[in-house]
């Protein structure tokens, strides 16, 4: 086996051993394990940090508008309910993020958004899910993705709160992979004398992490056919929504995406569209001025479908494309680092890059995707910040408008 020193020499990262002489035996072992356990291939992406898009021909995608869904609600509901009752639907809660904008070190889902009673983000999500499972008369297996950083705290919290009333045998936790952070010259940052700065590698790793943790075989054994992956922070979302599931079955697609109609042409949301005839999501800043403003004959925006991080994937198709690579995004971030004096510094400005894959990049691989419009005020209340846009304040207001007592 290659020694730690040789591995680091080969990839030009010997500075990781800067404090080797000061470490005790267990710290040395721990640092060696981190070096062995890290996927160094992400560093190759530094060679072309801006060269991700290389977009093909972009066109609008047609989807199901809320009105049409309403008209076909019974048909979709019946199909979705049947799939749920037969155990074909599961949910994947993406909770491996660090929630830096919310400014808490605790897992985001443990954040209390209540006013007169405690109401944790995780609890609200489970209450939303229980509405569905009560309506359908069957539980939906729930897979919760955590990271090395927040797993223990998350699992302990769920246990302490008795799984918020969901049956524990339907809940599994799994950890996503970690990636190293580097400074602007490409050198891996240390956050301790024996600790590499590692962070969760983005929400695109959920499926490969499920596989690595051995849970995909359980999913197959359970006869699950659909996986509904969703973000931890939208407290109004419908999870394993039978109408959404039914619509994807009826339309024969490999995946579906819940979307909201953009409030204005330049709204800062990813937009579902077609790229070279395949569904894809492009960032709001990738839309040209002309595309952002383009309207159809009814006067609606052509690039209208904003994604809200709630996707339904057909397992069969995921398995088929399991080996396909999705892009690694190189993102500027504030990364705590060890100063020359050996003290941990929390920088005020960005000082390095992190490497992330994104779930939205998986949509293209699925080849067909149904945009499924939901009513924003009823299903979209993301908590990204403490105050202002997409914050605890705005989410509380929306929850109350939907009759939820805080």
Residue 232 vs 381, nearer CB to ligand UTP: 232
Q: How far is the CB of 147 from ligand UTP (least distance, A)?
A: 6
Q: How far is the CB of 98 from ligand UTP (least distance, A)?
A: 4
Degrees to nearest 5, angle at CA 291 with 287 and 292: 70
Contacting range for ligand UTP; rule: CB under 6 A; set: 23-31, 43-51, 98-106, 368-376: 98-106
Residue 101 vs 317, nearer CB to ligand UTP: 101
Q: How far is the CB of 268 from ligand UTP (least distance, A)?
A: 13
Contacts of 252 (CB under 8 A, 6+ apart): 368
Give me the 228-267 binding string for ligand UTP, x by CB under 6 A, dash otherwise: ---xxx----------------------------------
- Told to check if 99 binds ligand UTP by CB under 6 A, we report yes
Q: Quote the distance between the C-alpha of residue 9 and its chain's center.
A: 34
The rounded distance, in Å, linking the Cα atoms of 395 and 184 is 36
The rounded distance, in Å, linking the Cα atoms of 230 and 227 is 10
Q: What's the Cα-to-Cα distance from 321 to each of 208, 231, 326, 347, 401, rounded to whole Å?
A: 11, 22, 10, 39, 41
Q: How far is the CB of 130 from ligand UTP (least distance, A)?
A: 20
- Told to check if 329 binds ligand UTP by CB under 6 A, we report no
- Told to check if 92 binds ligand UTP by CB under 6 A, we report no
Q: What's the Cα-to-Cα distance from 24 to each of 2, 99, 188, 302, rounded to whole Å?
A: 21, 33, 21, 61
The rounded distance, in Å, linking the Cα atoms of 303 and 222 is 38
C-beta nearest to ligand UTP: residue: 97
- Told to check if 383 binds ligand UTP by CB under 6 A, we report no
Contacting range for ligand UTP; rule: CB under 6 A; set: 95-103, 183-191, 237-245, 311-319: 95-103
Degrees to nearest 5, angle at CA 151 with 269 and 309: 15
Residue 101 vs 161, nearer CB to ligand UTP: 101
Give the DSSP letter of residue 117.
Answer: S
- Told to check if 104 binds ligand UTP by CB under 6 A, we report no
Q: How far is the CB of 161 from ligand UTP (least distance, A)?
A: 18
In contact, 179 and 355? CB cutoff 8 Å: yes
Degrees to nearest 5, angle at CA 192 with 190 and 195: 70
Give me the 193-232 binding string for ligand UTP, x by CB under 6 A, dash otherwise: -------xxxx---------------------------xx
- Told to check if 100 binds ligand UTP by CB under 6 A, we report yes
Degrees to nearest 5, angle at CA 338 with 334 and 343: 120
Q: How far is the CB of 253 from ligand UTP (least distance, A)?
A: 23
Count H helices and E strands in the chain, helices first.
Answer: 14, 19
Number of residues engaging ligand UTP in binding (CB under 6 A):
20
- Told to check if 97 binds ligand UTP by CB under 6 A, we report yes
**CB neighbourhood size of 245 (10 A):** 29
Residue 45 vs 98, nearer CB to ligand UTP: 98
Query: Which of the residues 267 through 306 are near ligand UTP (CB under 6 A)?
Result: none
Q: What's the Cα-to-Cα distance from 405 to each of 321, 390, 392, 400, rounded to whole Å?
A: 43, 19, 15, 6
Give the DSSP letter of residue 53.
Answer: -
Contacting range for ligand UTP; rule: CB under 6 A; set: 6-14, 35-43, 93-101, 362-370: 93-101
Q: What's the Cα-to-Cα distance from 187 to each of 40, 261, 363, rounded to whole Å?
A: 12, 42, 32
Q: How far is the CB of 197 from ligand UTP (least distance, A)?
A: 14
Contacts with ligand UTP by CB under 6 A lie at: 94-101, 108, 145, 176, 200-203, 231-233, 309, 384
């Amino acid at each position: 086996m290659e020694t730690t020193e040789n591995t680091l020499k080969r990839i030009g990262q010997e500075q990781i051993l800067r404090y080797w002489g000061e470490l005790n035996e267990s710290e040395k072992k721990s640092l060696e394990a981190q070096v062995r356990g890290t996927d160094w291939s992400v560093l190759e992406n530094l060679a072309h940090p801006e060269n991700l898009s290389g977009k093909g021909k972009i066109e609008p995608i047609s989807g199901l508008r809320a009105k049409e869904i309403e008209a076909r609600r019974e048909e979709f509901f019946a199909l979705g309910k049947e799939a749920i009752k037969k155990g074909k639907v599961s949910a994947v809660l993406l909770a491996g993020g660090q929630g830096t904008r919310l400014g808490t070190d605790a897992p985001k889902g443990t954040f209390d958004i209540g006013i007169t009673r405690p109401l944790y983000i995780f609890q609200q999500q489970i209450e939303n899910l229980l509405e569905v499972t009560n309506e359908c008369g069957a539980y939906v297996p729930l897979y919760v993705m955590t990271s090395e950083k927040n797993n223990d705290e998350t699992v302990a919290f769920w246990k302490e709160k008795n799984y918020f009333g969901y049956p524990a045998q339907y809940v599994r936790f799994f950890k996503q992979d970690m990636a190293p952070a580097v400074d602007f010259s490409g050198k891996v940052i240390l956050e301790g004398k024996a600790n590499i700065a590692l962070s969760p590698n983005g929400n695109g790793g959920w499926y490969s992490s499920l596989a690595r943790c051995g849970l995909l075989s359980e999913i197959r054994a359970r006869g699950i056919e659909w996986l509904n992956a969703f973000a931890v922070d939208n407290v109004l979302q419908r999870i394993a929504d039978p109408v959404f599931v039914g619509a994807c079955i009826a339309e024969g697609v490999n995946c579906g995406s819940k979307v909201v109609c953009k409030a204005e042409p330049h709204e800062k949301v990813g937009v579902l569209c077609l790229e070279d005839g395949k569904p894809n999501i492009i960032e709001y800043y990738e839309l040209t001025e002309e595309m952002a403003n383009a309207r159809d004959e009814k006067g609606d925006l052509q690039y209208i479908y904003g994604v809200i991080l709630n996707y339904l994937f057909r397992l069969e198709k995921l398995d088929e494309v399991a080996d396909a690579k999705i892009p690694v995004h190189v993102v500027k971030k504030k990364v705590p680092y060890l100063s020359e004096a050996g003290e941990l510094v929390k920088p005020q400005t960005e000082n390095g890059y992190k490497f992330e894959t994104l779930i939205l990049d998986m949509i293209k691989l699925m080849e067909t995707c149904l945009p499924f419009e939901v009513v924003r005020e009823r299903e979209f209340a993301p908590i990204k910040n403490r105050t202002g846009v997409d914050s605890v304040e705005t989410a509380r207001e929306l929850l109350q408008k939907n009759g939820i007592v805080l």
